[in-house]
A and B are shown apart, each in its own frame.
Chain A
Amino acid sequence: MTSDLDLDPVRRALTITADGVRPPADLTDRVRRGGRRRVRRRRAALAGTLAVLLAGGTAGVVQLARPPASAQLGGVAELLLDQPTRGDLADDRRWLSTVLATYRRTRDDSPLRGLGLTRRPAGEPHVTWAGSTPAGPAAAVVQRMWTDRHQPSVFIWFAGTDPAGRVEPVGADILAAPGRPAGWGSRAFLTGVDRSTLVVLDVGGDVQWSARRTYRADRVVRTDWRPVTFTDGAAVVRVPPQRDRYAVAVRDGAGAYLSLGNLTDPTVIPDDPGLGWRTPAGGGWPADRPARFPLAPRGALSLDTVLMFLGKGDAGQHEPAGGATGRDWTAYGRTGRGELFVAADVRFGGDPTRTVVYIQPLTSTDPRFGPVVTVYGDEVDRTAPLPVAVRLPDGRGWLVARKDATLSYLDHDGRWHPAGRNAALLPSTATRVRVDTTEVAL
């Protein structure tokens, strides 16, 4: 047995050895950025699993590209479970009864069941809100569940009214139980034939909504945030139709995006296939993979670095693009100055696909947390001879791409130069591009 007295030399030696070690000054900022990225990645992975359950992927992916929720919802579940039914239809027994009957009949249709989070009810369902909306009566139902891992969770189910006046399930989600955060925690949903009515449940705190994104050359922002007004348990807002182009967003008072419960909407928005460059063609998501176009010179550029860069746009300064970046194709290499760049398809919600280029300035020393220059291109047109043509800032040239095409460019001296296949970074002096045999002006 070792006595404490005997251990003093060890303690002192260990203390001396570790003494003088100090964390970097920016540790807190770095950790918060990395932590947020980790949360988003985890949610995206969970969403990816859900996407498989959602009809082979294509229909569901657009929903999953929504900004993931960042807010912590620990007490929300308990609040929605415990409070009496709110809303102007709270006393309409017939409506409540119809809602609960539909809930019991369709609850297990939710793809969330496949995640093992909602298979064992741990209590009776409770209509937490029932109210009138411009799109007809709507409701939200919550029910305690045990997950397959014996952890408590709360299932939340949203319903509206279909054109025939019947209760229509429009989505579902998992609310985190206190101390056991899991799921996306939706407390808002879209209802109506064209999903043009937004309902946000009142759980305390301010909420704002936005109708559309604004694309700028270096960022994607929202400039039309406006507050919602809660009345009797919820806010009901008319929004532009979301059935074909999912663009609305909701955030809390701290600026964290809130999920919309239509993640499991049985009538999901049709997916935009983008340029359809995944390979092998027709392999079907997720069996196929994004096309990769490595461009010379690459230097010591690994695929890991490329993939890491695709997450940099989610650093919190811009609207997050979720898991939609680089889903179709990626080109990467170095600019004429030696800067690492990664180009890829990017899609925000149900908006059309665009191109994004991330450039790591030479002054950046930290591949994970250093600054990055972001450039957004226009919407891509898969039928165009050259669907990707993005001018990079400060004379860095043009990023052009078309899968399987032989590229060449015309310089300002009137001479054609070969530029390889699939994708190329052309000098800023290039004026035209030949895509196989078709010429395109830049």
Chain B
Amino acid sequence: MSTHDEADSFDEFVRSRSTALLRSAYLLTTDRHAAEDLLQDVLERLYAKWQRARSAPDTYARKILVNRAVDRWRFRGRRPETPLGERTGTPALDHADHVVVRQTVLAALRTLPPRQRAAVVLRYLDDLSEAETAQIMGCSVGAVKSHTARGLTRLREQAQLGPADPPVLISPTAEPTRRTR
């Protein structure tokens, strides 16, 4: 495989997968700018090991993403993360209710320990199986189940995402939406 081919395949991967990876990074960091920094860091590391990673780049990228997000959390000394304020992205383009959902979910995610947060994001945003999630997180399937269950419980409590219908926050007419506007 020539260097050109490798460069092309890396570029193609970045083009096709960076949006999905950025969304995961956003939920892992709960901060738009931190997510962009994290994604760039992840992709630079992936570039450096592309020859090895190109056979399963998505897995490699997500593995680095989760590890770096956890490292970042440790580096921050477990301090509470900054509320998003004006840095949530492009709220003017969103439905107002979605903005409220976003703020509430992000606030709830911030209360989750990093590995619980990672498990929830990998399982329910990225739609990975428990086995795939375990591979990326470098732990057992049992640990994934445990992290996920605890993370979900806490997320539901914090964001009022009850298991029963109706799902309060994602209803545009739900009371919490109006209350926070």
Contacts and interface: CB of A to CB of B under 8 A. Distances in A.
A248 B3 CA distance: 23
Contacts of B24: 18
A89 interface: no
Interface in B1-45: 1-4, 6-7, 10-11, 14-15, 18-19, 22-24, 26-27, 32, 35-36, 39-40, 43-45
B14 A18 contact: no
12 contacts: A6-B163, A7-B152, A9-B161, A10-B161, A11-B127, A13-B169, A18-B26, A31-B14, A32-B47, A34-B43, A35-B45, A254-B4
A9 B52 contact: no
Given A7-B152, A21-B35, A72-B3, A16 B51 contact: no
A34 B105 contact: no
Given A22-B22, A205-B2, 6 more contacts: A7-B152, A14-B124, A20-B89, A32-B47, A35-B48, A38-B44
With most chain A CB atoms within 10 A of its CB, the pick from B50, B102, B152, B159 is B102
Contacts of B144: none
Interface in B123-152: 124-125, 127, 148-149, 152
A176 B26 CA distance: 36
A-B residue pairs, 9 tightest by C-beta: A35-B47, A9-B167, A18-B23, A6-B163, A34-B44, A31-B43, A17-B105, A23-B18, A14-B125
B23 A28 contact: no
B152 to A, nearest CB: 6
Interface residues of B, number: 58
Interface in A159-207: 176, 179-181, 205
Nearest to B108: A13
B155 interface: yes
Contacts of B149: 2
B51 A181 contact: yes
Interface residues of A, number: 44
A359 B167 CA distance: 55
Contacts of A71: 3
Nearest to B153: A2
Contacts of B127: 11
B98 interface: yes
A13 B47 CA distance: 32
Nearest to B126: A14
B89 A16 contact: no
Interface in A123-169: none
Nearest to A42: B48
A27 B161 contact: no
A176 B50 CA distance: 13
A93 interface: no
Contacts of B148: 2
Contact of B105 (A13, A21, A22): A13
A8 interface: yes
Interface of A: 2, 6-24, 27-28, 30-32, 34-39, 42, 71-72, 74-75, 176, 179-181, 205, 252, 254, 256
B147 to A, nearest CB: 13
Nearest to A3: B163
Contact of A10 (B6, B39, B90, B124): B124
B155 A10 contact: yes
A181 B3 contact: no
B121 A14 contact: yes
Contacts of A6: 163
Contact of A18 (B27, B47, B162): B27
Contact of B27 (A8, A14, A31, A75): A14
Contact of A17 (B3, B93, B106, B152): B106
Contacts of B52: 179-181
Contacts of A10: 120, 124, 152, 155-156, 161
A21 B49 CA distance: 26
A12 B14 contact: no
B45 A38 contact: yes
In this complex, the member of B18, B48, B127, B162 whose beta carbon has the largest number of chain A beta carbons within 10 angstroms is B48
B48 A23 contact: no
A190 B4 CA distance: 28
Interface in B147-181: 148-149, 152, 155-156, 159, 161-163, 167, 169-170
Contacts of A13: 101, 105, 159, 161, 167, 169-170
B78 to A, nearest CB: 23
A23 B19 contact: yes
A75 to B, nearest CB: 8
Between B1, B27, B163, the greatest number of chain A beta carbons within 10 A of the residue's beta carbon is seen for: B163
Interface in B85-114: 89-90, 93-94, 98, 101-102, 105-106
Nearest to A14: B125
Nearest to B20: A18
Contacts of B43: 27, 31, 34-35
Nearest to A33: B44
A27 B170 contact: no
B11 A17 contact: no
Name, among B1, B15, B47, B94, the residue most crowded by chain A CB atoms within 10 Å (CB to CB): B47
Given A16-B98, A18-B125, A179 B51 contact: yes
Contacts of B90: 20
A42 B45 CA distance: 11
Nearest to B7: A32
Given A17-B105, A39-B48, A28 B15 contact: yes
Nearest to A34: B44
Contacts of A72: 3, 6, 51
Contacts of A32: 7, 10-11, 47
A149 B101 CA distance: 48
